[in-house]
């Protein structure tokens, strides 16, 4: 009954091919446990931001979240500055971790709520609204940190989230998969997910059908903001320090991941599992190029080529072209 | 079954474009020293790469290559360092974009047995050796001494820094102020103007300063583009040769102003030599040799280095690689 998702198959196949190619050019060291762990540890911070972008896109009406990485940095910086006032990261490690994570998530949630409110209450176009809040968030992080890196240090268990493993997988990666699964489940089975997708594909019909559209859109941006906060926690856990200008290139990469995953920019469609596969594919490719010793400009070129390929697949139904039997 | 084969075929088509660019690197048995710079493709680090290549040519028993992110983002540099550690390179020679961001990863790299050498990061805690071209206070004092001799040891002078948060720049002008105290007739006015390494902004600010102090006799600048902005302001005011300007800059871009006399002298260090010195230190550490004061790294300007304690457990290796060029001498070092 259910149509096989071509995008999903292509993404999965690309991941397999990239792994095989990596093994071939590195005599197998690409598939060493250390490298797999290292790559898995790099995915979550950008993957979470990409899920945020996907949710905003699904909400329709030109939905997008440009404030992701700025909010992630703000969450890390502000939370670290505030918590350091009350608790020492050396003496009360557990309490510091708990407060830091709570603070970062709360700041992320609030930032997202501001985005959502501006968009629904004041009718500002999402791309302009989040561009504005992006600058405001970045500016605020510069002010509270004085432009310098803020030390989070390595308090346990925060440092474990960034550097330790459960069953051989980085804890941050497991966290990312669990969060992705929860959101994926919510999109598929909860009324929130239905409302989001349906109102994204046809906002007017949703309005007449009596969907709580404003509430749904606000909640979506708030969720996206909370994911940014979580991304900020993971950045802090991995890097010991947080800084306002970290990951300036992540903004476009997060959008690239979402588009590659087949999220429809007009709204109404997107699959979490595809976003996860797409984020992993980009990671594999960039690590592969570093293993091959190639210039990072080649990587930008390769990402561009990959994006165009996916747009072509979506536009011309290449999967259907190769599998004529699946055409309906 | 047939379907899944076809799926793989489609994906192959999609991936070929990217895969083809990845190329095939062969496995090496020789120790690998990977140099990671702040940004790839800008003149400063292209010049550094010539040093890495020269080191490779002189040392065929190691593999020396340079990597760098395509965008100026510390997160991108972090990813490259992580991938290289995972790849299992024997030594890393890093010019950190932001030392704070790399701390965690460099620590893990050292725990894994990778040799870590840094440059332009004397506050990096997790490094075995940080290579600096010169002692920062010595450099600042030398710039100021050149300025003082041009000014005839008297008159008003001012300073520019990239930003007030820029550690090395503040060290340079600080040492300059200290040096100027030797000459009671030199008067420092409106010090520490922020240039943000932007030649146009610096030009405007320098014009304002020249209007405010018509008798201003000297500038000491810090960021790479400052001499260009201040030099243009001096030249347009018809003051070339009358107002002195000494600052950090590279010979090629500064050449016209040096010729016209708008720039008195430029100070710099050669990134090529710094790249060679970093690799030389990495090779010494790979060979488990100790770094000692007075050691010769076999690189010009690093023939007798000073080794002191660094910010962490590592050492600070300071060379004597300062270059100070004026109208007469710059043509020998065009880059």
Q: Which of B4, B11, B164 to mutate to test the interface with A (most CBs of A within 10 A)?
A: B11
pLDDT score for B48: 92
The answer as to whether B328 is a domain residue is no
Domain boundaries, chain A: 43-321
The reply to whether residue B22 touches residue A21, judged by beta carbons under 8 angstroms, is yes
Q: Is the CA virtual torsion B200, B205, B208, B213 positive or negative?
A: negative
Q: Tell me the C-alpha distance between A159 and A165, whole Å.
A: 11
Range of B198's domain? 136-268
B contact residues 35-54, partner A, Cβ 8 Å cutoff: 40-41
Which residue matches tokens 């962490």? B312
Q: Which of A21-25, A294-298, B117-121 has the highest mean pLDDT?
A: B117-121
Domain boundary among B237, B268, B299: B268
pLDDT digits (tens, 9 = 90+) for A90-127: 788 889 999 999 999 999 999 999 999 999 999 899 99
Which ranges of chain A does DSSP label H, i.e. alpha helix?
6-25, 33-58, 68-86, 93-121, 126-145, 158-163, 171-189, 191-201, 203-208, 213-239, 250-260, 272-291, 296-316, 318-322
Residue B1 pLDDT > 50: no
Looking at the fold, whether B65 and B128 belong to one and the same domain comes out as yes
Nearest chain B residue to A239 by CA: give it.
B104
Considering only the beta carbons, identify the residue of B24, B83, B101 that sits closest to A287: B83
Closest by CA position to B144, among listed B102, B185, B181, B107: B181
pLDDT digits (tens, 9 = 90+) for A143-172: 998 877 888 888 888 888 888 888 889 999
Which two three-digit tokens encode residue A322?
């190769």
Looking at the fold, whether B123 and B167 belong to one and the same domain comes out as no
pLDDT score for A276: 95
Q: Tell me the C-alpha distance between B10 and B259, whole Å.
A: 62
The reply to whether residue A286 touches residue B23, judged by beta carbons under 8 angstroms, is no
DSSP B209-226: HHHH-TTEEEEEE-STTH
List CB contacts of B110: < 8 A, sequence separation 6 or more. Answer: B116, B126, B128
Share of chain B above pLDDT 90, in %: 58
Q: Tell me the C-alpha distance between A66 and A110, whole Å.
A: 16
pLDDT score for A320: 61
Of the two residues B9 and B146, the one the predictor is more confident about is B146
Q: Tell me the C-alpha distance between A277 and A261, whole Å.
A: 8
Q: Decide if B171 contacts B140 (C-beta within 8 A).
A: yes
Which two three-digit tokens encode residue A174?
């497991």
| CA distances, A216 to each of A45, B57, B172, B297 (Å) | 25, 63, 56, 65
The answer as to whether B6 is a domain residue is no
Domain boundary among B268, B284, B311: B268
Looking at the fold, whether B238 and B176 belong to one and the same domain comes out as yes
CATH of the domain at B48: 3.40.50.2300
The answer as to whether B241 is a domain residue is yes
ipTM score for this prediction? 0.79
pLDDT digits (tens, 9 = 90+) for B262-319: 999 999 999 999 999 999 999 999 999 989 899 999 898 899 899 999 888 899 999 9
Looking at the fold, whether B276 and B221 belong to one and the same domain comes out as no
Looking at the fold, whether B170 and B215 belong to one and the same domain comes out as yes
End-to-end alpha carbon distance in chain B: 61
Q: Tell me the C-alpha distance between A176 and A273, whole Å.
A: 12
Looking at the fold, whether B60 and B176 belong to one and the same domain comes out as no
pLDDT digits (tens, 9 = 90+) for B10-47: 555 555 444 444 443 444 578 999 999 988 888 888 88
pLDDT score for A292: 81
* Fold that domain A43-321 belongs to in CATH: ABC transporter involved in vitamin B12 uptake, BtuC (1.10.3470)
Confidence label for B183 from pLDDT (cuts 50, 70 and 90): very high
Share of chain A above pLDDT 70, in %: 94
Looking at the fold, whether B223 and B280 belong to one and the same domain comes out as no
Which residue matches tokens 């095989």? A20
pTM: 0.79
Looking at the fold, whether B245 and B296 belong to one and the same domain comes out as no
Looking at the fold, whether B104 and B128 belong to one and the same domain comes out as yes
Domain boundary among B268, B297, B312: B268
Closest by CA position to A20, among listed B11, B193, B201, B313: B11
Nearest-Cα distance to chain A for B68, in Å, is: 7
- The neighbour count for residue A320, using CB atoms within 10 Å, is 14
Q: Tell me the C-alpha distance between B110 and B127, whole Å.
A: 8
The answer as to whether B12 is a domain residue is no
Q: Is B218 in the A-facing interface, judged by CB distances under 8 Å?
A: no
Q: Tell me the C-alpha distance between A268 and A270, whole Å.
A: 7
Looking at the fold, whether B295 and B205 belong to one and the same domain comes out as no
The answer as to whether B22 is a domain residue is no
Q: Tell me the C-alpha distance between B187 and B217, whole Å.
A: 10
Q: Decide if B219 contacts B245 (C-beta within 8 A).
A: yes
Residue A66 pLDDT > 90: yes
State the average pLDDT over residues B162-166: 77
Number of domains in chain B: 2
């Amino acid at each position: 009954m259910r149509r096989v998702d071509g995008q999903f198959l292509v993404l999965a196949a690309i991941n397999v091919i990239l792994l095989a190619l990596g093994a071939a050019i590195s005599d197998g060291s690409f598939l060493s446990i250390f490298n797999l762990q290292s790559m898995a540890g790099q995915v979550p911070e950008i993957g979470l931001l990409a899920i945020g972008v996907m949710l905003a896109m699904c909400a329709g009406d030109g939905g997008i979240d440009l404030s992701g990485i700025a909010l992630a940095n703000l969450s890390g910086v502000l939370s670290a500055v505030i918590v350091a006032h009350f608790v020492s990261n050396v003496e009360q490690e557990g309490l510091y971790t708990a407060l830091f994570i709570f603070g970062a998530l709360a700041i992320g949630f609030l930032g997202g709520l501001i985005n959502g409110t501006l968009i629904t209450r004041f009718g500002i176009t999402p791309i302009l609204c989040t561009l504005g809040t992006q600058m405001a968030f970045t500016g605020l992080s510069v002010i509270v940190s004085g432009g310098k890196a803020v030390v989070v240090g390595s308090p346990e268990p925060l440092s474990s989230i960034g550097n330790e493993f459960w069953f051989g997988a980085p804890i941050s990666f497991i966290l990312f998969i669990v969060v992705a699964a929860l959101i994926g489940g919510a999109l598929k089975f909860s009324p929130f997910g239905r409302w989001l997708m349906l109102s994204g594909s046809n906002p007017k019909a949703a309005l007449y059908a009596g969907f709580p559209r404003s509430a749904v859109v606000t909640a979506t941006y708030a969720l996206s903001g909370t994911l940014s906060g979580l991304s900020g926690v993971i950045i802090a856990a991995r890097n010991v320090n947080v800084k306002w200008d970290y990951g300036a290139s992540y903004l476009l990469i997060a959008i690239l991941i979402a588009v590659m995953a087949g999220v429809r920019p007009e709204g109404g469609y997107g699959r979490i599992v595809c976003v996860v596969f797409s984020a992993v594919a980009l990671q594999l490719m960039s690590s592969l190029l570093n293993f091959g010793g190639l210039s990072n400009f080649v990587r930008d070129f390769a990402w561009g080529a990959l994006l165009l390929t996916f747009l072509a697949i979506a536009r011309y139904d290449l999967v259907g072209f190769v599998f004529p039997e699946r055409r309906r | 079954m047939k379907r899944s084969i076809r799926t793989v075929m489609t994906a192959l088509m999609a991936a070929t474009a990217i895969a083809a660019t990845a190329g095939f690197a062969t496995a090496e048995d020789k120790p690998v020293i990977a140099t990671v710079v702040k940004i790839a493709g800008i003149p400063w680090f292209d010049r550094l790469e010539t040093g890495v290549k020269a080191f490779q040519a002189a040392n065929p028993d190691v593999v020396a290559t340079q990597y760098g992110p395509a965008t100026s983002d510390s997160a991108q540099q972090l990813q490259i360092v992580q991938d290289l550690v995972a790849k299992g390179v024997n030594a890393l020679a890093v010019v950190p974009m932001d030392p704070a961001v790399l701390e965690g990863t460099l620590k893990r790299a050292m725990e894994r047995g990778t040799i870590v050498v840094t440059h332009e990061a004397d506050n990096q805690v997790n490094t075995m050796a940080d290579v600096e071209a010169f002692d920062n206070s010595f450099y600042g004092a030398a710039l100021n001494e050149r300025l003082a001799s041009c000014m005839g040891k008297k008159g008003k002078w001012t300073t520019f820094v990239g930003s007030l948060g820029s550690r090395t720049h503040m060290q340079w002008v600080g040492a300059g102020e200290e040096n100027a105290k030797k000459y009671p007739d030199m008067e420092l006015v409106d010090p520490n103007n922020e240039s943000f390494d932007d030649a146009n902004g610096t030009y405007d600010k320098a014009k304002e300063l020249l209007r405010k102090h018509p008798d201003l006799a000297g500038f000491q600048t810090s960021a790479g583009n400052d001499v260009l902005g201040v030099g243009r302001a001096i030249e347009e005011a018809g003051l070339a040769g009358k107002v002195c300007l000494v600052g950090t800059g590279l010979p090629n871009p500064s050449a016209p102003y040096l010729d016209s006399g708008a720039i008195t002298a430029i100070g710099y260090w050669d990134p090529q030599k710094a790249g060679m010195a970093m690799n030389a230190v990495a090779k010494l550490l790979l060979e488990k040799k100790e770094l000692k004061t007075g050691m010769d790294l076999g690189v010009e300007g690093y023939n007798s280095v000073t080794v002191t304690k660094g910010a962490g457990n590592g050492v600070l290796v300071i060379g004597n690689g300062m270059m100070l060029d004026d109208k007469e001498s710059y043509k020998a070092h065009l880059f």
